Structure 1
Amino acid sequence: MTPNAYRRSEHLRALWPWLPLWTAAALLAIFAHGPMPLFSTRTLAVAWEMWHGHHWLVPYVNGQPYSEKAPLLFWMIHAGWAVFGVSDVWPRVLEVGFGATQLVLVSTIARRLFPDRPWVASATPWMLLSLSYAFLFGLQIMYDVLLATWVLATLLCLLPTERRAEPRWWLFGLCIGFGLLTKGPVMLLHVVFPWLLGPLWNDWARTHRARWYGLGALGVLLGLAMLLAWAIPAGFSGGEAYRQRLFFTQTAARVVNGVAPAADLQNHARPLWWYLLAIPVLMFPLAAWPRAVAALAMLRRPLPSGMRFSLCWLVPAFVTFSLVSGKQLYYPLPELGGGCLLLAGAIALLRERHPQLASTAWLGTWPLALGGALLAVFMFVLPDLVASNRLHGEWFDEAVDYSRYFSVLFLLLGALLLLRGRGEMRRLAIAGLIGTLAFNTLFTLTAWHKYDLTPSTDLLAAAEAEQRPIAYLGAYDAQFHFAARLTRPITEIRGDAAIAAFAQAHPDGLIVTHPEKLTAADRRYALLVQPFRSSWIVIWPAPVLSDVQAGQQPPEPTTPTRIYPAPLRP
């Protein structure tokens, strides 16, 4: 066996422990319950409307062109539907595939950046799969998971291999293009800094600056050309209003005003330091691992090229996203792989430069073990606290039937983290993954019924089959369209006058409302009442709701209201 073939076989063997473990956990979690409103249901709704209406260029939502996102994810969903038929199974399998690809990519990146430190390539994917937020958000049918995959693939194209020091510029440009077709110009903010700062970490870039920047700029232009190859014909196909939003209100505003459109900037406005406080959440449980914190604190120059690459990627991206007014936890999702790469490299340096400090027990996983033990105790006594009226809340009251079973699991995970000896990082990763899967399972058993819109979508699907018009009081987020397979738009209405006008125009129509609390009229005259998150979904015959809103006595219903009881205990 040649040296290269031997190294490839070693790398394939290294995939065995973490890749099937993460894939099995992700499949169990993503199929434990249905697609989550409102993220996953909206993505599926857009894909469904494009599919049903044969709109291959322009995404649609609720009958209108959807300028918020580029179409690559929808095309990938359509490819699976063309083979397997329309369902939510393929999109969920697709998301799991994206996550698995990220693990392979980050392992390959670590292997190229730290060729003389194989532990980093082994540890980085373990660290990434341990992150609770990345795992849970990866269960959403969303663009950011695919975007993170293209970001890692783009950065991989910049890295030298054993045979070639120069980047593969055409692949660099193609991956940028696919990222742009996934979520638009924000793709550039994730990948442009390692390229612009290339001479700080890459020897070839330092000695071939003109070629590095010239061919890199051509790669960026190739990616932009791929985006324009879709956007220009889509703009003309979607009409004047869509074209204005796509090229100016959305695309230009994202670049000038900061990643998000104006409405999102207003709704998601956060202070400058918000992402700094979010780091412990995004990087949990690694953020609570003393060995990782100490390794970062002990970093000193000179730094290997892999560490310089990670810093050239993470620091400018963090500053840029912090300067943007609109902030969401999932915006820096592509950088989580870089964070794990930085931590793995820092721990490797700590072991080399401070071996005695790196081996001390107080840098182990005892804080996480203690946290697991305290959580186990709390979950064990939770039924007694609720029964004695010392603790109440919708989450606590619903968890009491299962909390003691899960307390045993978290106690075992805490014990696993207390074990000494080699394999500490893997034990931490396995405990983090299983603990996150346990929380997802507990959510499925106790709280999913408040997110399951099946009763409402069944009723709306029946109304669609009868050609009955449907309206929504307030802003409609397309949460019913895919599951009910709606083929007509739902009318958004606001105010009593709009309710009366809709009822007069459509006496056989239905109106969906989303009240915070139920009234006696909701329970008596509505067709259906079901809990939804911390509020309710109520579906009315349009004339009945108009009468109630006008203070008139509606006729007695011929069928009783279908009420799905509140999940809280009396």
Structure 2
Amino acid sequence: MTTTAYARSEHLRALLWWLPLYLAVALVAIFTTPPIPLHSTRALAVAWDMWVHHQFLVPHINGAPYAQKAPLLFWLIHAGWAAFGVNDVWPRVLMVLIGAAQLILAQVLARRLFPERAWVARTTPWLLLALAFGFLYGLQIMYDGLVAVWVLAAALCLVPRRPRTAPYWIGYALCLGLGLLTKGPVMLVHAVPVWLLGPWWCSRARTQPARWYGYGALAVLGGCAILAAWVVPAIAVSGGAYAHSLVYQQTGGRVVDAFIHQRPFWWYVPWLGVLLFPFVLWPRMWAGILALRRPLAPGLRMLLAWLVPAFVIFSAFSSKQGYYLVPELPAAAIVVAVAIVTLRAGTHAPARSAWLRAWPLALGSFALAALLLALPPLAAGGHLPGHWLHDCARVSAPFGVIYLLLGVFVWLPGRGELRRIASASLLGSAAAYALFALAFTPAFDMRPAAQLLAHAEASGRAIGNVGDYDGQFEFMGRMTRPISNLYGQQALQDFAARHPRGLVLTYPDLLVANDLRYARLVQPYRGVWLAIWDAPTLALLERGQQPPEPAAPTILLPSAGYWRYAGVQ
């Protein structure tokens, strides 16, 4: 066997365990629920609106241009629909494939950065798939996971495979362009600082700075040109309002005085514990971080040139969400792998101390198991505050047993501690998602309401939505006409007058008896309620008048016997 063939076989063997495990767990988990509002249903609504109206250049939702995101993810969804027909299976499989691509690319990057430390590359995908936030986020139809793929690919272009030393600048430009087409200019925050700081970690950048920065600048311009190839015709088609929203509101409007998700500068600091769970509770990781010594290896410097600027820049931005840092998780996983390798390479006794084992994780799993097992008797005694815990109590006991077993699995001594933690975290995250699905799906399942609305649309009825509409019914009902946003009482009254056969959606915080008596459909919806009304009926109630009795009883979901309906007065 040649050296190249042997290396290829070793790379394939490296995928043997973690890749099938991730694919199996992720595919099972992602299909335990229908697409969840608002993120997944909104992405599907945009893709569907573009598809059904044959408007593939400019993303649309509810019949209007959608300037919040660039179109690449929607195009990938369309590619699957063109091959397999319109469905909600392909978009979810796509998300799992994107997650698998992150794992593979992260391992390749770790191998290139630390060729002399094979253990770093072998353990990086285990560490990455174990990050609970990244795994659960990857089950939603969203954009940052795909951005992470392009960021990893861009990093690989800057760290070419030996014996080549020159970066793949054309590939770097292409990856930047694809990232820009996925989520806009934020791609530059993830991928450009590591190039700008090249002399700190790359000998070629130090010895040939003119070439490094010259070709790099051309690559950045090339990536921006790829974005411009879409932006310019999209603006030409959609007009000035779309241009203002795309360029100013969705970019500049999130950097300073954000119109949405405005948070303080320090907001991401506590979020690090969430993003890096479960390893923040693993003492061995912290001991490994403390064991890192100067001078830092070039590969570690490259990762810090990726992580630190991104964290600081995103902290400086006014708009913040935890998932904005998802593209940094692969770099964080490689840093943790390096820290563990460094600790294990040491000969001092503390590196082998039993106190560095995963006992905090095991204790946390035992505590969660105890809570889940205690919920049913607490619910029976009426001691649970709020409806979330009460709903959870109906199905929590089996999951208590699962987390008890996972705690024992993590507690076990012996070799393979990291893989035990990773496997337990992956299975525990999937179990949490399954618990969510069984306990709370009625509050996130839009299919019954979407079917009712689709039937109304097919009958020629107009549909209005009190407040902002986020497309949560558009794909599920395969709807083709816009839903009207109704702001204020007068808008509701005018809509009812214009559309006496119309339907109106409302989202009350609390139900009253008239909701159960006169509405067409009532169901839990996220943290509030969803009610679908005949427009004239709701208009009469809002004016304080008594409407006629409905021809059919209200559809109560998940069932008329759902415990929360008993207390409605």
Answer yes or no: same fold by TM over 0.5. yes
- Does the 8 Å CA contact 1:386/1:392 hold for their aligned counterparts? no
Moved more, 378-387 or 55-64: 378-387
Q: Measure, in 2, the Cα distance between the counterparts of 1:435 and 1:64.
A: 40
Q: Measure, in 2, the Cα distance between the counterparts of 1:202 and 1:3.
A: 27
2:113 is matched by which residue type in structure 1? Answer: L
Residues 75-103 of structure 1: per-residue CA shift (max 9 Å, x gap): 11111101100011111011100000000
Q: Does 1:280 align with 2:265?
A: no
Shift of 1:495: 1.5
Which of 301, 313, 322 is residue 320 of structure 1 equivalent to?
313
Which of 544, 551, 557 is residue 551 of structure 1 equivalent to?
544
1:97 is matched by which residue type in structure 2? Answer: L
- Does the 8 Å CA contact 2:442/2:523 hold for their aligned counterparts? no
Shift of 1:446: 1.2
When the two structures are aligned, how many residues end up with a matched partner? 563
Corresponding residue for residue 196 of structure 2: 196
Q: Measure, in 2, the Cα distance between the counterparts of 1:175 and 1:272.
A: 29
Corresponding residue for residue 468 of structure 1: 461
Corresponding residue for residue 301 of structure 2: 308
Corresponding residue for residue 248 of structure 1: 248
Instruction: Describe how 1:521-536 pairs up with structure 2 within 5 A.
Output: 521-536=514-529
Q: Measure, in 2, the Cα distance between the counterparts of 1:248 and 1:328.
A: 19
Corresponding residue for residue 141 of structure 1: 141
- Does the 8 Å CA contact 2:158/2:195 hold for their aligned counterparts? yes
1:445 is matched by which residue type in structure 2? Answer: L
Corresponding residue for residue 64 of structure 1: 64
Q: Measure, in 2, the Cα distance between the counterparts of 1:502 and 1:393.
A: 35
Q: Measure, in 2, the Cα distance between the counterparts of 1:465 and 1:185.
A: 40
Shift of 1:395: 2.6
Q: Measure, in 1, the Cα distance between the counterparts of 2:234 and 2:372.
A: 53
2:62 is matched by which residue type in structure 1? Answer: N
Residues 34-93 of structure 1: per-residue CA shift (max 9 Å, x gap): 001000000000000100111111111111111111110111111110110001111101
Q: Measure, in 2, the Cα distance between the counterparts of 1:182 and 1:567.
A: 43
Which of 324, 332, 342 is residue 325 of structure 2 equivalent to?
332
Moved more, 177-186 or 62-71: 62-71
Q: Does 1:541 align with 2:534?
A: yes
Q: Measure, in 2, the Cα distance between the counterparts of 1:372 and 1:253.
A: 41
Q: Measure, in 2, the Cα distance between the counterparts of 1:253 and 1:268.
A: 11
Shift of 1:241: 1.4
Corresponding residue for residue 51 of structure 2: 51
Shift of 1:200: 0.8
Moved more, 559-568 or 75-84: 559-568
- Matched residue of 1:483: which SS? coil
Q: Does 1:375 align with 2:344?
A: no
Corresponding residue for residue 11 of structure 2: 11
Shift of 1:377: 2.0
Residues 349-377 of structure 1: per-residue CA shift (max 9 Å, x gap): 12224553222111110110111112222
Shift of 1:559: 1.4
Instruction: Describe how 1:475-554 pairs up with structure 2 within 5 A.
Output: 475-554=468-547
- Does the 8 Å CA contact 1:369/1:414 hold for their aligned counterparts? yes
Instruction: Describe how 1:100-119 pairs up with structure 2 within 5 A.
Output: 100-119=100-119
Moved more, 392-401 or 230-239: 392-401
Instruction: Describe how 1:80-479 pairs up with structure 2 within 5 A.
Output: 80-253=80-253, 257=255, 265-479=258-472
Deviation >6 Å, runs of 4+: none
- Matched residue of 1:349: which SS? helix
Q: Measure, in 1, the Cα distance between the counterparts of 2:196 and 2:543.
A: 63
Task: List gaps (5 residues or longer) in structure 1.
Answer: none
Task: List gaps (5 residues or longer) in structure 2.
Answer: none
Which of 545, 562, 565 is residue 555 of structure 2 equivalent to?
562
Backbone CA RMSD of aligned residues: 1.4
- Does the 8 Å CA contact 1:397/1:568 hold for their aligned counterparts? no
TM-score by length of 2: 0.97
Identity of aligned residues (%): 53
- Does the 8 Å CA contact 2:67/2:250 hold for their aligned counterparts? yes
Q: Measure, in 2, the Cα distance between the counterparts of 1:29 and 1:427.
A: 20
Corresponding residue for residue 78 of structure 1: 78
Provide closer, same or farther for how the CA distance between residues 329 and 567 of structure 1 changes in structure 2, counting only shifts above 3 A.
Answer: farther
2:158 is matched by which residue type in structure 1? Answer: L
Moved more, 312-321 or 381-390: 381-390
Residues 10-53 of structure 1: per-residue CA shift (max 9 Å, x gap): 11101111011001111001111100100000000000010011
